[in-house]
Amino acid sequence: MTKKEILKKYFGFKSFRSIQEKAIDKILNKESILVVLPTGSGKSLIYQLPTIMMSGVTVVISPLIALMQDQVANLNANGISAKIISSHNSFEENNQVFEELSQNKLKFLYVAPERFSNNFFISQLKKININFFVIDEAHCVSEWGHEFRDDYRKLSLLREMFQYTPIATFTATATKSVQEDIVKTLKIPSKNILKTSINRTNLFIRTQRRVGAGKKQIKAFLDTHHDECGIVYCFSRKECENLSHYLNQNNYKTLAYHAGLSNNTRDEIFKKFKNEDIKIIVATIAFGMGIDKANIRFILHTSMPKTLENYSQEIGRAGRDGLNSDVLLLFSKADEISKQRFIDELPQSIYKTTAYNKLQTMYRFCITNRCRHQYLAEYFDDKTTPCKTLCDNCVDEKKEQTDITIQAQKFLSTIYRTGERFGQNHIIDILRGSKNKKILELNHDKLSVYGIGQDFSKEEWSLVVDKLLDMDAIMIEGEFRVLKLTLVAKKILKKELLVNIDKKLLQKQKVFKEYKKDDMKNPYFEEFRKLRYEISKKEGVPPYIIFNDKTLNLIALNLPTSKDEFLSINGVGEMKLEKYGDIFMKLAKEIKEKNE
């Protein structure tokens, strides 16, 4: 079969995207390559398709069990044999996989990088016909990358152990220095770096200063994503638990996911999310890279990630099916300061300097007035024009400012009158006239500033703090996060410097407009989604393994009732037609007859 025949039969597509065909040709020509493509651009197809045309097995090295399980389920659903060797398998199960490999029954073997430190595993690999290796999430190879892993770095030994076997490497997030380090480490010709624009034209990107804990902002955002799948990323385990509880109390069905849970509990939560028994996961970054769920419609960060690489990787989990998706980052100046403290504790090195620079760049992304897609592209040595419709800075009208100089002076005066010895919450309590025990014991209720800030809520005072931190008018010091005044604060107190803030932040109404969504609400989409869910339960696979939302939407719009009509839909191949065609065409026919 030709490449295009395989593309349609097994994957359901009529044509290749971007640099897919060029990369496939290099693999078929037994060349080692580095492919840099944004998430959702079809990286996996680049190595899966040529394997079908080649003898032997492809060994795929991937960082997460969950990702490998998804890939294997997808391949098996398309009639392609694939298995995993992992610590989650029993000894007998892993031996069975080796047996199938020796009998040439598998086309794909998925393993974690740690496996290559095992001499027995290496000896078994040397007994089979490996056509090429695949290294997914290849930025982990580079010590300049944001998720460098020593086990990945050791994969350079593949060149010694399997001297004549080519390596195909893939990543969505690699700056120029990271790309150069990957090809040098794995001895890939620099002419074989294949990349396209990292621009994700189906993501609507926005940032917003966090008000207090941000719970009202989070709920307002989620209210625009009713019955959709998404991830809410939090900074700590405690925040995950508290926010999940808050959202459940407000009629959202969520589960918290973090490293403090047992492996079995985390696996069960991830399974429920994949199978759409739960729509929203509230997680720390322990909900790691490589999530292959295709229909995640939104990603929300409750605080600022430490690098743009992390951020890009995390928002890349939205919209993998190509449909429009929404990402929101809530941030404050305090996020930058708290993360800087962790870097401060590192020994002096180039890595430490790089970490500071990456953190500052991340914060500048949060506060920039430039197109966010363009900002991201330039960071990854890419070029693009302003998106015009896909980020808050391009869409929003000019932000109206309001003067909060008086409130700023009140806050700074309170810090001064309490001897610069207290944190944010205590200062706000004084301004709002709190009668808590600590204030009364310290006689802070006798201060002239006591109760002069009751016109502002705690959340509004938190915005004032963020603004003052952003202006470098105050600093946070020590374990107890004590507030200290700077020379800028003195200028504000002397009325030599005004303090302005975005007026929207002080408004009480919801602040989120719905982004432009695809026409997913056609009259029949929900009927087909229900059918897909029922089939997924019977087969024990996630619904998107059967058909992703994009393909399902096309089925609902076109209502195919013949094999030719069904095959003409993008995402439907011969294997899916054979397996699911009759039951979906039956529903399409019933809908047509009902509406005649």
Is it the case that residue 518 has pLDDT exceeding 60? no
Is it the case that residue 289 has pLDDT exceeding 60? no
How far is residue 358's CA from residue 178's CA, in Å, rounded to a whole number? 14
pLDDT of residue 510: 44
Is it the case that residue 509 has pLDDT exceeding 50? no
Please state the pTM of the whole predicted model. 0.73
Is it the case that residue 160 has pLDDT exceeding 90? no
pLDDT per residue over 102-118, tens digit each? Answer: 999 999 999 989 998 88
pLDDT per residue over 555-583, tens digit each? Answer: 999 999 999 999 999 889 888 999 999 99
CB burial of 554-581 (b: ≥16 within 10 Å; e: otherwise) equals bbbeebbbeeebbbebebbbbbbbebbb
What domains are there in the chain, each with its CATH number?
A: 3-195 (3.40.50.300), 203-395 (3.40.50.300), 405-498 (1.10.10.10), 525-594 (1.10.150.80)
Is it the case that residue 287 has pLDDT exceeding 90? no
pLDDT per residue over 375-425, tens digit each? Answer: 999 898 888 889 989 999 888 756 678 999 999 999 999 999 999 999 999
pLDDT of residue 43: 85
pLDDT per residue over 28-48, tens digit each? Answer: 999 999 999 887 678 889 999
306 closest CA partner among 284, 323, 325:
284
pLDDT of residue 151: 84
DSSP 3-state of 169: strand
pLDDT of residue 253: 92
468-489 mean pLDDT: 87
pLDDT per residue over 95-105, tens digit each? Answer: 999 999 999 99
65-87 mean pLDDT: 85
pLDDT per residue over 485-505, tens digit each? Answer: 999 999 999 999 999 987 777
Task: Report the range out of 6-10, 176-180, 482-486 with the highest average pLDDT.
Answer: 482-486
pLDDT of residue 110: 95
Distance between start and end Cα atoms, the chain: 41
Mean pLDDT is lowest, of 47-51, 252-256, 375-379, 503-507, for: 503-507
pLDDT per residue over 167-191, tens digit each? Answer: 999 988 788 888 998 999 899 999 9
* Run of H or E including 81: none
The residue ranges of DSSP E strands in 516-568, in sequence order, are: none
How far is residue 157's CA from residue 163's CA, in Å, rounded to a whole number? 9
